[in-house]
Chain A
């Protein structure tokens, strides 16, 4: 008996309730994706064409730390660029020359559009074509927009991958291949490759690749499995190249990972026995790892502010595998087709809020008093100060969380705030003296010294 694909979700009474809001958003723009993308593709460089704000954003989101010279930079637009005193395209060519002279190891250069470059309609597509003619072979030049007016946080990855799709080689063989789409931690890729290999699926490629010279090929024999829920445009473009999307929930937790792998197994006609042989070990380990967190997390309520589009699969995992209660799932936007399986697996009547008015959402959150709030870095400390437990949402994007071996780690990320709370005997919000606005009272030792 071959493996069955995950059952398509049925519409009906168990559907989540979706409400839509407009208002102030507290989310990153797509430029933030550069922080993980520039480490994922090791010979790529991301040149943002934008303002000082763009440069400051990436640097701040990256934690203002310089562990190594980054493979990103900003070409900061200046007054004379805007006033037309210089030709912006000539300026860009000059900056790219300067950059590639410094970094001859770069094989793929992305020109990344920003809010200002979009508003002044600087055509980076044209610039990329021109520069590609000059530097390719040696270095390919592509462009995409990570602007906040068009992209939210993880959509920056979608835009970057989309830019690479037209250049992917066409697959020349009739042999079926599996393409896993979305940046994953290297260790997670290796785990998936190993398990799929054990099932007999050996023609597996990951997109984006670790090196730009290893681009996967794509064609009508390509089955594509999305590893991330924010790749709408990439998936659409891959479909135009002939790839067939395998519908599945996303590979978070045991349930998600099993169904996700099953989608691949079904497409490749893998026998149930082979599937079980490849997955049962890791699956049991993951189940065991999760069991430790069920007492800590079970019955606790959780509230998601919109951030990465990972919210629905995460809520599904937390509800079904560790027994959390879902108060609200905020999503920056909702790609219903790609999230159909995860949404169907959510507890009946789960409230999903698409878009946001952050002030109103804060009100609802305070009203709900959830046990845990998943939110951005700008809101986390203020909410902690109000006595709410928080989990930074960005950590969920920067940590390996996919697959069986990471299921326990994923649960641990949500358990840690409770763990910390249980340990700390000092500084509960009600007893804390107000900081921030008055400044600290002068400590006694300062008065008595010297």
Chain B
């Protein structure tokens, strides 16, 4: 049993629904109790889809358990086929039906429906949403390509014909998948590469059957496409491009890989129009970005991409990385090692909150969960990854991938931050009443950023950790970083308060660490500045 307050991923059958909903003519018959139909609203409300999700839930009830739930399942299959006339049917069970062991695969097979029926085994008590999406895409693709896989021989591409590729992985309810497809397709068109099939997003069953016609595959979202891409590689000799084109560097690498895989003239890579990000990052106003401490958490793909952008393209310092995607924990651990930080592999949002609290970053790049954590801790935050929220489906064109994606990322990451001189002015004139701790960056206006009602409520509820005793020369303040008994002199405490709140925690920890190292047990103003000189910024 695991105590869970909020979850990063739904159950695996929700992943399967993301595949079915992304496609044009696939229907999913899900053996599930009443209530599991809540999954529909993820698509109609969060993504604002204008069609019902193509899912028939059996919605059995307690009174059915003694009777024949298997019969209910078979009737649901027949009705769904009759009513929706799908080109292929997925069948499976949600967590409760899994316990009933009704065997949806066998029951559906016995009906001899005239369309492909693909059974899904998605162990609800072990696996989660992304795994379910990956497994569903793999099983469906395998089933629909079973005939073509027999004795497949790859023909040489006709001379003069344009190279073709497939874009694999985008789904319904994906983080910016809609716009990434557009951006990557546009990039490929500039290079002279045609997109053969995009799947599962927008694909029909007939489209899946055409996947082997392409020269190579692009795995846009490894969490969902990697398993399928590997099978296509083995079965149809289609190489896979695995570099995910998020950020300027990764997009450039991606272009070179595409050029190579497509057998194009390498000079074509230079014809693509780039991003504004490199110049914006070198523009003098961006010196305020240099060395900003960032914490990154999300799905593995977006975390790995964000870490590269943060370090190489913005000049940030990454103080921590983590992911809830256990399937890609190895990759994130490798990244953490390269960055010299500790990886946090966890689906426990309380653990993530504790880590952020401990690291005291100046910017959090995370999911909607981290957005709320950051709000509470009064740290700036930008959202880089699923789980998605209605805000992650903006009306405007807003990709993460390609050069336009890099532009979007530059804007969305710096938006929550204090701008250049404003930060300096706050440091200089902290006595100004409008520059109080709670004041957010001026371009965000009231009610945004750190100074929100929720943050205030939290702030009010938790006793401030800096009680200064009246009429006493010293105050006993529990040290933030250690269990040692260090005492802050009142004047040192007041001096500490003159440091802007977003770096004050770090200054406090550094000073206490310094005091311990030096064997000092009363922190004075001098200790504070000694520590500052010792550690630098």
User: Measuring CB to CB, which residues of chain A are less than 8 angstroms from any residue of chain B?
Assistant: 24-32, 49, 51-53, 55-57, 59-61, 64, 66-70, 73-79, 81-82, 88, 91-92, 94-95, 98-99, 115-116, 118-120, 147-150, 152, 359, 376-382, 384-385, 434-440, 442-443, 445-447, 449-450
Contacts and interface: CB of A to CB of B under 8 A. Distances in A.
A94 B33 contact: no
Given A149-B62, A378-B44, A437 B387 contact: no
A149 B404 contact: no
B95 interface: yes
Nearest to A436: B49
Contact of B94 (A53, A69, A446): A53
B324 interface: no
5 contacts: A51-B11, A79-B125, A376-B37, A378-B44, A435-B48
A382 B178 contact: no
B24 A56 contact: no
Contacts, number: 225
A68 B454 CA distance: 7
Contact of B37 (A25, A56, A92, A436): A25
B279 to A, nearest CB: 12
4 smallest CB-CB distances across A and B, nearest first, come from A29-B35, A148-B35, A378-B40, A385-B50
Interface string B56-87: 11111110110000000000100100010000
Given A79-B125, A150-B61, A56 B44 contact: no
Contacts of A434: 50
B49 A381 contact: yes
Contact of B397 (A31, A118, A377, A443): A443
Interface string B455-496: 001100000000000000000000000000000000000000
Contacts of B59: 24-25, 148
B57 A24 contact: yes
B53 interface: yes
Contacts of A380: 44
A52 B95 contact: yes
A49 B42 CA distance: 23
Most buried by A among B6, B34, B51, B369: B34
Interface stretch (B270-278, B497-505, B509-517): B270-278
Given A66-B369, A382-B51, A75 B2 contact: yes
B99 A116 contact: yes
Given A79-B125, A359-B79, A450 B62 contact: no
A359 to B, nearest CB: 6
Contacts of B52: 378-379, 382
Contacts of B252: none
A37 B56 CA distance: 30
Given A78-B2, A376-B41, A378-B44, A439 B33 contact: no
Interface of B: 1-7, 9-11, 13-14, 24, 33-42, 44-46, 48-53, 56-62, 64-65, 76, 79, 83, 94-96, 99-100, 123-126, 128, 178-179, 181-183, 186, 201-202, 273-276, 368-369, 372, 387, 389, 396-397, 403-404, 407, 454, 457-458
A115 B201 contact: no
A443 B178 CA distance: 12
Given A25-B59, A56-B7, A66-B6, A438 B202 contact: yes
A24 B58 contact: yes
Contacts of B99: 82, 116, 119-120
Contacts of A449: 404, 407
A32 B41 CA distance: 14
A381 B44 contact: yes
A147 B34 CA distance: 9
Nearest to B57: A24
B60 A149 contact: yes
A359 B83 contact: yes
Contact of B38 (A60, A438, A447): A60
Contacts of A92: 1
A412 to B, nearest CB: 22
A82 B276 contact: no
Given A57-B35, A115-B33, A382-B50, 18 more contacts: A24-B58, A25-B59, A26-B37, A29-B36, A51-B125, A60-B41, A64-B46, A76-B3, A78-B125, A94-B1, A150-B62, A376-B41, A378-B53, A382-B49, A435-B50, A445-B397, A446-B182, A450-B276
Contacts of B57: 24-25
Contacts of A115: 33, 35, 95-96
A120 B1 CA distance: 14
A356 to B, nearest CB: 9
A270 to B, nearest CB: 42
Contacts of B61: 148-150
Contact of B186 (A64, A152, A447): A447
A376 B44 CA distance: 10
A73 B50 contact: no
Contact of B10 (A53, A150, A152): A53
Contacts of A78: 1-2, 125-126
Contact of B457 (A27, A30, A68): A68
A98 B123 contact: no
A150 B34 CA distance: 9
Contact of B5 (A70, A150, A446): A70
Contacts of A450: 273-276, 403-404, 407
Contacts of B183: 446
A127 to B, nearest CB: 12
Nearest to B2: A76
A440 B369 contact: no
Contact of A59 (B6, B397, B404): B6
Nearest to A434: B50
Nearest to B186: A442
Given A24-B57, A115-B33, A56 B49 contact: no
Nearest to A86: B1
A74 B369 CA distance: 17
Nearest to B398: A446
A152 B36 CA distance: 11
